[in-house]
A and B are shown apart, each in its own frame.
Chain A
Amino acid sequence: MAAHLKKRVYEEFSKVVQIPHEEAPAKKLRLSKPSKSAALHIDLCKATNSTDALQYLLHFARKPVETESVEGVVRILLEHYYKETDNSVRLKIASLLGLLSKTQGFSPDCIVDDAINTLGNEKSHQVLAQLMDTLLVIGTQLPESPAVRQRLIEVACKHLSDTYFGVRNKCLQLLGCLGMVDTPLTKDNEGLVRDVQSIISDYFGDQDPRVRTAALKAMLQLHERGMKIHEIIYDQACRLLSDDYEQVRSAAVQMVWVLSHLYPESIVPIPSSNEEIRLVDDAFGKISHMVSDGSWMVRVQAAKTLGSMLQVSPQFLEQTLDKKLMSDLRRKRTAHERAKELFTSGEFSSGRKWADDAPKEKLDTNTVNLIASGACGAFVHGLEDEMFEVRIAAVEALCQLARSSASFAEKCLDFLVDMFNDEIEEVRLQSIHVLREISTHITLREDQLDTVLAVLEDSSRDIREALHELICYTNVSTKECVQLALLELLKNLNKYPTDRNSVWKCLKFMGSRHPTLVLPLVPELLSTHPYFDTPEPDMDDPAYIAVLVLVFNAAKSCPTMPALFSDHTFRHYSYLRDSLSHLLPGNGLDLVDSRCGLGSVESAQLFLQQSLNRVSTIQNLEAPGAQDLLDFTIRDLRRLGELQTELAGAADFCATYLRCQLLLMKALQDKLWNMAVPLCLKQNVTATAAAQQILEETYKLEFLYSGLDSRQVATIHHVRLQAKALQLILTARTRQGLDSLISSCEKFLQDIESFQRLFLTELPHLQDSFVDKLLELMPRLSSCKPVELVKILQTTLRQSGLLQLRLPEQTMSINSRTMRIHRATATIIEPTGESDNPLRFTTGLVVALDIDATLEHVQDPQNNVKVQVLYPDGQSHVIHPKPGDFRKPGPDRHRLITQVYLSHTAWTEPSQIEVRLLLAYSSSSTSLSSPSKLGWSDSIDSLPTPETAVEGTIPFSKPVKVYIMPKPARR
């Protein structure tokens, strides 16, 4: 009690002294800025006990501090720090110091000394640890001043001998983050010159596991900062691999891994023998050993790191898959070996006899190595691990290693195929993906293919689709394999009709990959007969289409095959070529179809270029002729896009662009432009609509296509500007209100400016264009009256209407990069929109609608893709799917599987709603790279959005109709 009273008296006392002393500067501060420091100071002075003070500090920490007042705040905090007797308050102050020194724009070098001084007479270990942390923050904020670092390092070394583990931890962390990479200058008390590494490595043997971990982490940190770790550390790290504590082992695994990358070729002796091996092999062996560690965290870590040790020698690598089986001391063949043997001997798997796998040879007891020494069987263990995290890590590691070594890929095949049967779907999926990635190296045997194909019946769509993807890339060895695959795929098609597209695609690749294997199967597949005509199969049968896809794709590179076809096959080809052009090859079957001789990418490209060249002559044509030319070109391009999938994006892009031009041309060429306003009302309407449409199209052009360069973007913006000009003119003609005209004029001028700003580099390419002219007139424009401005615009627009169409140049540039332009597309797979059964639900409640869609070439779908639901009454909802609903099955492809909730008031009868996907865009995202991140406060919401930013959405999928029926609630 007495002590408490004394404390209070002390505090009271300090308050009395402090207030008059600090009052004046506090007031001054208040004048210049919102005086955070003053407020804090007063708060702290008001605090009568430590709990209060702590509360104030906590409260204070929630608010951001301006850069200029940081130093003041720090001073006040430090002042209070010295007075404070309570550890927790001091701790909080210390942590606040750290936070404050992170404030952007504040250079903490002025508080280094104070911070170091506080260490001097600190008794509490916890506070000491926190102070070291603060110093660490300060140190990292000042990467440019070696003197400060040197001081900090010295301080850290001094406190390394602290008895509290936290302090040692922080010191090591500090050494790791700030330790000088090149200068070995820290002096020990014996006067020995020691470098940071040896100091840190001393603590590898610390009594506290947390400190050992921190030491390893600090060493890793040094490595990350580009310091070369000495090779001596290797031995020490290896010893720590058998530490009692998992976090130490985990860090040690990392350390060994780092060293194996630094010194892969060094030679290390094998203990208890006089052999020597490469360090990377030794490390590989040791880490492999950790795959059977007791802690699963370590196992995951070990399995992961194994994957990136590509320099390891092949014999060690192959040991990881080695597991000698024995039974009663007799060598037994693994099931894999047996399967292989059966396969090579041409026997069918019997498995009927009990002693089928009976052990054969007698093993010499001395050669059996029970405990996996070194790399032996690491992956065998990893893949059989209890935790799926370890299994996934092992699968990934296998993948990485297999990609770099074909022979290893061959060997690990069996194991990966085994993983297709894992109990966790993620693991199955992952192993299918991995197999796909390494499939360039491997050819599947029949029995392996059999196992792979068995998974086709899996009820999970993800698995099936991954498998289809895999089959697309797989090489098989015999025609039986092809037949087997076809059979299984047809079975799959039968069982899951929704997989249709995926199965066809799969067969397309299968056919084009193995033309010679398909050839002998053709008569059987098409069920042709040498003498008899067989009935013509049903063209709408998905299974028949599947067979045709396989055959036609094989025929592409096998000229002898078409000879085997019957007449109707050719007919079917031309039908399919039209209806499923993406699945069928464009050339190779010359006898079948000469209509689309333009098949290869090159010729298509040529065609694209020619069409665009043709458009360039448009200036010389009369208006109707020009319009016709544009019309035809647009049509051609659209068709080209359909036929040549590689060029679809570019062709489509050009077509849309030309359409904008066409619209603009039409709008401008209306003869009624010079008429009096009231007379041309109707004309105005169409022109307004055209302007609006052009605007929309330009947004589509800008955001729907990926792979555009700034030239194209500039062109798009240019058209947009024209459209805006058109709009402005139209507004001026129709509406009388001068105010609105003035404001829109101003807005237009702003637009021009921002265009100029954004596309400064592109301006030279836009000579003689609309913008070019406008910019010439700019000084006049900005000073003149709105009416005058409109007039100028009108003339410029009409004059430049044809002149500025310098498309050839621009489109040539599009053309040269044509392969890169892709259109973002989305297809809603589910709901199919074919159901006649309405989805019934009670009004006021919700019903979940499953949506499954594939998205292609969409950038950042998690943020941009939205689902729109349109109700018959015109209501529309936009739903933002969760980021987790997007999957990425392949490059540039995304899959959205989500649920949207529908609800509505009661209807008398079922009706259809429309569901579609929207691509959201905002023009600010192109002009500003990314909003700069703010400091430690959470006041991001205050970021002003640029006024020019236009946000909107583009529907980019076909709408799907869903039949729903909200029933009235029953009483």
Chain B
Amino acid sequence: RSCILVSIGGKNIMLDCGMHMGYNDDRRFPDFSYITQNGRLTDFLDCVIISHFHLDHCGALPFMSEMVGYDGPIYMTHPTKAICPILLEDFRKITVDKKGETNFFTSQMIKDCMKKVVPLNLHQTVQVDDELEIKAYYAGHVLGAAMVHIKVGSESVVYTGDYNMTPDRHLGAAWIDKCRPDILISESTYATTIRDSKRCRERDFLKKVHESIERGGKVLIPVFALGRAQELCILLETFWERMNLKAPIYFSTGLTEKANHYYKLFITWTNQKIRKTFVQRNMFEFKHIKAFDRSYADNPGPMVVFATPGMLHAGQSLQIFKKWAGNEKNMVIMPGYCVQGTIGHKILNGQRKLEMEGRSTLDVKLQVEYMSFSAHADAKGIMQLIRMAEPRNMLLVHGEAVKMEFLKGKIEQEFSIDCYMPANGETVTVTTNPSVPVDISLNLLKREMALGGPLPDPKKPRTMHGTLIMKENSLKLVSSEQALKELGLNEHQLRFTCRVQLQDPHSDTDTLHRIYTHLKSVLKGYTIQHLPDGTVMVESIVIKVSSSTEDPNTKVLLLSWSYQDEDLGSFLSTLLKKGLPSGLC
């Protein structure tokens, strides 16, 4: 499950609010007391962002907003907002109505929670408040999945949620621009996997289904309601269309129908092919796929049935499985991972006799196939995303520690950036190098420009003199005169003086003259004056010569310069310390 707290530039943001499907007690929800022991969360969180509608990313949302108490904005994309309540409601029904649990959120709570949701569009920059802005990017994975770019001032974070870098039959690939965030928080489910091309798997899948249908067999595909199911539907639908097949395809009804409706609606979130062709025909308006009725399972002839749930542990898929298991012409295709203990897991491991409740056994004669269709980015995909976004730091979540360790090493090696992988409940602090915007007065800029030099190049830093005034939460860079005027202060002169001893047998005036000619030859382009009162002026720097009392050959030079001429002054003093060249007259 995902639930991440980010503090950035003084803002607290919760990224995803998922639940753990494995637990049935309090552990299934995140521990919100971590944020605050008592009182509402609203005071501590600036916003909540939900990346997509999977329950491990949004399952705890009503609990948090209604039962713990949060009234701030919740951001999610339009499709997520549409589909999320369906899933939550379904989940609530199973937990409360079937398992009879109490102390769970109610339908009304889901509705109330959804009222707090602010929908997001792709690439739309939303100002949460004056400083905090978020922007959503396409993430593939499931309909409406998004990555979010969160920015406060010059600091930014990208949170990927779950994403997929390879396009599939109904969704495109994740994409992000070169936003160079300070930290990229990425899922890492497949941190150590590089997957084979999708085409092989698809082809295998279609071939198996096709062969089975031609034999006159029935094909059962247990699926979870949303996501992969739609992909497989599209896959089969287009294949049927292409190959002119007539065998019926059924989809067990339920919440899928509602969800399919949203798939039809949010065409812009799908892949290129569907987007381009929906004017002629919406790909989700299936021609060959019809709603399933319980009685159809006994119909003769070939058919393909999608049924829930995906692991054959209960429900319609199990019922159909029981009916069809006896015939070796039939086939079951498991499109995803099965948890240990489920029938799906057993048959995948080659068990041919199943014990059912009531001590009856079931002979499994049908063919069992496994086809993995997963929509997470693999290791290569993660690396590709890093290359796209060019983050300064990397943070891996949502994966197994050992696998993440490997990916972390790789990331550090390839991109030479820091990579973190915090455990649950652990906090990682990343120091950023924020740039502070400063207003600069136009006069100062113009003066700087007038000084000459090359045209300003935004890629190269340039130094300039000025006074920084911090006043009423704003920073200003102005010329020193203006600063004095503004602050009502008197100007103080700061002068540096410096003595340099010089071995020179000549008289004072001669020495002075020698210094004058020497400087004249070294410092071209500066005004150097030999004043009648026995001083040499370089710009505003005064040089005087006097013989030392002990040794007339040792001359003491007195240099004096103001603070503004520090550069030139220190240069002169080092120059003169080296002595005068002997060739001077």
What distance in Å separates the Cβ of B194 from its nearest Cβ neighbour in chain A?
A: 5
- 0/1 interface trace, chain B 373-398, chain A, CB 8 Å (1 if under): 00000011001100110000000000
Q: Give A292 to B377 CA distance when docked, in angstroms.
A: 14
B409 — which chain A residues lie within 8 A by C-beta?
365
A370-B383 in contact given A353-B350, A387-B272 (Cβ < 8 Å): yes
B192, A335: Cβ atoms under 8 Å? Answer: no
A451-B178 in contact given A351-B369, A352-B367 (Cβ < 8 Å): no
Q: Give A368 to B388 CA distance when docked, in angstroms.
A: 21
Interface residues of B in 178-193 (CB under 8 A from A): 178, 192-193
- 0/1 interface trace, chain A 541-585, chain B, CB 8 Å (1 if under): 000000000000000000000000000000000000000000000
Q: Give A459 to B246 CA distance when docked, in angstroms.
A: 12
Stretch at the interface among B237-245, B354-362, B485-493, B551-559: B237-245
Asked whether any CB of chain B lies closer than 8 Å to the CB of A798, the reply is: no
B199, A418: Cβ atoms under 8 Å? Answer: yes
Stretch at the interface among A378-386, A786-794, A807-815, A945-953: A378-386
A371, B383: Cβ atoms under 8 Å? Answer: yes
B197 — which chain A residues lie within 8 A by C-beta?
323, 334-335, 380, 383-384, 415, 418
A370, B410: Cβ atoms under 8 Å? Answer: yes
B192, A336: Cβ atoms under 8 Å? Answer: no
- 0/1 interface trace, chain A 382-409, chain B, CB 8 Å (1 if under): 0111111000000000000000000000
Q: Give A384 to B378 CA distance when docked, in angstroms.
A: 14
Q: Give A419 to B199 CA distance when docked, in angstroms.
A: 8
What distance in Å separates the Cβ of A451 from its nearest Cβ neighbour in chain B?
A: 7
Which residue of chain B is the closest to A458 with respect to CB atoms? B242
Q: Give A438 to B173 CA distance when docked, in angstroms.
A: 31
A384, B166: Cβ atoms under 8 Å? Answer: yes
Which residue of chain A is the closest to B197 with respect to CB atoms? A384
B437 — which chain A residues lie within 8 A by C-beta?
none
What distance in Å separates the Cβ of A899 from its nearest Cβ neighbour in chain B?
A: 16
B203, A418: Cβ atoms under 8 Å? Answer: yes
B380 — which chain A residues lie within 8 A by C-beta?
370-372
Asked whether any CB of chain B lies closer than 8 Å to the CB of A244, the reply is: yes
A354-B349 in contact given A294-B177, A421-B202, A423-B273 (Cβ < 8 Å): yes
A638 — which chain B residues lie within 8 A by C-beta?
none
Contact of A386 among B167, B195, B243, B410 (CB under 8 A): B167
What distance in Å separates the Cβ of A253 from its nearest Cβ neighbour in chain B?
A: 16
A326, B203: Cβ atoms under 8 Å? Answer: no
Interface residues of A in 799-833 (CB under 8 A from B): none
Stretch at the interface among B204-212, B308-316, B425-433: B204-212
Interface residues of A in 283-335 (CB under 8 A from B): 292, 294, 323-329, 332, 334-335
B368 — which chain A residues lie within 8 A by C-beta?
352, 354
B173, A352: Cβ atoms under 8 Å? Answer: no
Interface residues of B in 317-363 (CB under 8 A from A): 334, 348-350
A327-B198 in contact given A351-B208, A370-B379, A459-B241 (Cβ < 8 Å): no
Q: Give A332 to B197 CA distance when docked, in angstroms.
A: 13
A327, B200: Cβ atoms under 8 Å? Answer: no
B379 — which chain A residues lie within 8 A by C-beta?
326, 370
Which residue of chain B is the closest to A330 with respect to CB atoms? B192
What distance in Å separates the Cβ of B349 from its nearest Cβ neighbour in chain A?
A: 6
A328-B348 in contact given A384-B167, A451-B203 (Cβ < 8 Å): no
Asked whether any CB of chain A lies closer than 8 Å to the CB of B459, the reply is: yes
Q: Give A387 to B406 CA distance when docked, in angstroms.
A: 31
What distance in Å separates the Cβ of B179 from its nearest Cβ neighbour in chain A?
A: 10
Q: Give A292 to B175 CA distance when docked, in angstroms.
A: 11
A335-B204 in contact given A207-B459, A352-B368 (Cβ < 8 Å): yes
B173, A386: Cβ atoms under 8 Å? Answer: yes
A383 — which chain B residues lie within 8 A by C-beta?
197, 199
Interface residues of A in 334-391 (CB under 8 A from B): 334-336, 351-354, 356, 365, 368, 370-372, 380, 383-388
- Tally chain A residues at the interface, Cβ within 8 Å: 48
A9 — which chain B residues lie within 8 A by C-beta?
none
Interface residues of B in 386-426 (CB under 8 A from A): 387-388, 403, 406-407, 409-410, 414
Which residue of chain A is the closest to B243 with respect to CB atoms? A457
Asked whether any CB of chain A lies closer than 8 Å to the CB of B25, the reply is: no
Q: Give A368 to B195 CA distance when docked, in angstroms.
A: 13
B196, A325: Cβ atoms under 8 Å? Answer: yes
A418, B369: Cβ atoms under 8 Å? Answer: no
Asked whether any CB of chain B lies closer than 8 Å to the CB of A460, the reply is: yes
Q: Give A384 to B193 CA distance when docked, in angstroms.
A: 17
B272, A421: Cβ atoms under 8 Å? Answer: no
A356 — which chain B residues lie within 8 A by C-beta?
370
A326-B367 in contact given A418-B203, A423-B238 (Cβ < 8 Å): no
A495 — which chain B residues lie within 8 A by C-beta?
244
Residue of A335, A418, A423 with highest tally of chain B CB at under 10 A: A423
A325 — which chain B residues lie within 8 A by C-beta?
194-196
Asked whether any CB of chain B lies closer than 8 Å to the CB of A969, the reply is: no
Which residue of chain A is the closest to B207 with respect to CB atoms? A454
A207, B242: Cβ atoms under 8 Å? Answer: no
Q: Give A371 to B176 CA distance when docked, in angstroms.
A: 17
B200 — which chain A residues lie within 8 A by C-beta?
334-336, 418
A328, B243: Cβ atoms under 8 Å? Answer: no
Q: Give A919 to B152 CA distance when docked, in angstroms.
A: 70
Q: Give A356 to B372 CA distance when docked, in angstroms.
A: 12
What distance in Å separates the Cβ of B149 from its nearest Cβ neighbour in chain A?
A: 14
What distance in Å separates the Cβ of A289 from its nearest Cβ neighbour in chain B?
A: 9
Q: Give A383 to B202 CA distance when docked, in angstroms.
A: 14
Asked whether any CB of chain A lies closer than 8 Å to the CB of B22, the reply is: no
A335, B201: Cβ atoms under 8 Å? Answer: yes
Asked whether any CB of chain A lies closer than 8 Å to the CB of B457, the reply is: yes
What distance in Å separates the Cβ of B278 from its nearest Cβ neighbour in chain A?
A: 14
Interface residues of B in 22-47 (CB under 8 A from A): none
Asked whether any CB of chain B lies closer than 8 Å to the CB of A424, the reply is: yes
What distance in Å separates the Cβ of A959 from its nearest Cβ neighbour in chain B?
A: 31
B367 — which chain A residues lie within 8 A by C-beta?
352
Residue of A163, A335, A371 with highest tally of chain B CB at under 10 A: A371
Q: Give A424 to B407 CA distance when docked, in angstroms.
A: 35
Asked whether any CB of chain A lies closer than 8 Å to the CB of B271, the reply is: yes
A161 — which chain B residues lie within 8 A by C-beta?
455
A292 — which chain B residues lie within 8 A by C-beta?
384, 387
A335-B369 in contact given A370-B380, A384-B166 (Cβ < 8 Å): no
- 0/1 interface trace, chain B 522-543, chain A, CB 8 Å (1 if under): 0000000000000000000000
B195 — which chain A residues lie within 8 A by C-beta?
325
Asked whether any CB of chain A lies closer than 8 Å to the CB of B151, the reply is: no
Q: Give A352 to B328 CA distance when docked, in angstroms.
A: 13
Q: Give A388 to B172 CA distance when docked, in angstroms.
A: 11
B178, A365: Cβ atoms under 8 Å? Answer: no
B238 — which chain A residues lie within 8 A by C-beta?
423
A351, B384: Cβ atoms under 8 Å? Answer: no
What distance in Å separates the Cβ of B325 from its nearest Cβ neighbour in chain A?
A: 15
Which residue of chain A is the closest to B193 with respect to CB atoms? A327
A459, B243: Cβ atoms under 8 Å? Answer: yes
Q: Give A749 to B172 CA distance when docked, in angstroms.
A: 71
A421, B348: Cβ atoms under 8 Å? Answer: no
- 0/1 interface trace, chain A 829-840, chain B, CB 8 Å (1 if under): 000000000000
Question: 24 interchain pairs (CB within 8 A)?
Answer: A161-B455, A207-B459, A294-B178, A323-B194, A324-B194, A325-B194, A325-B196, A326-B379, A328-B192, A329-B403, A329-B406, A335-B204, A353-B350, A354-B348, A368-B410, A370-B194, A370-B380, A371-B380, A418-B197, A419-B199, A421-B199, A421-B203, A454-B207, A457-B243
With A335-B204, A370-B383, A457-B244 already in contact, 9 other A-B pairs whose C-beta atoms are closer than 8 Å: A207-B457, A207-B458, A326-B193, A365-B409, A418-B200, A421-B206, A451-B207, A454-B207, A458-B243
Residues on B lying within 8 angstroms of A by beta carbon are: 166-167, 169, 172-173, 175-178, 192-204, 206-208, 210, 238, 241-244, 271-273, 334, 348-350, 367-370, 379-380, 383-384, 387-388, 403, 406-407, 409-410, 414, 455, 457-459
Residues on A lying within 8 angstroms of B by beta carbon are: 161, 163, 207, 244, 292, 294, 323-329, 332, 334-336, 351-354, 356, 365, 368, 370-372, 380, 383-388, 415, 418-419, 421-424, 451, 454, 457-460, 495
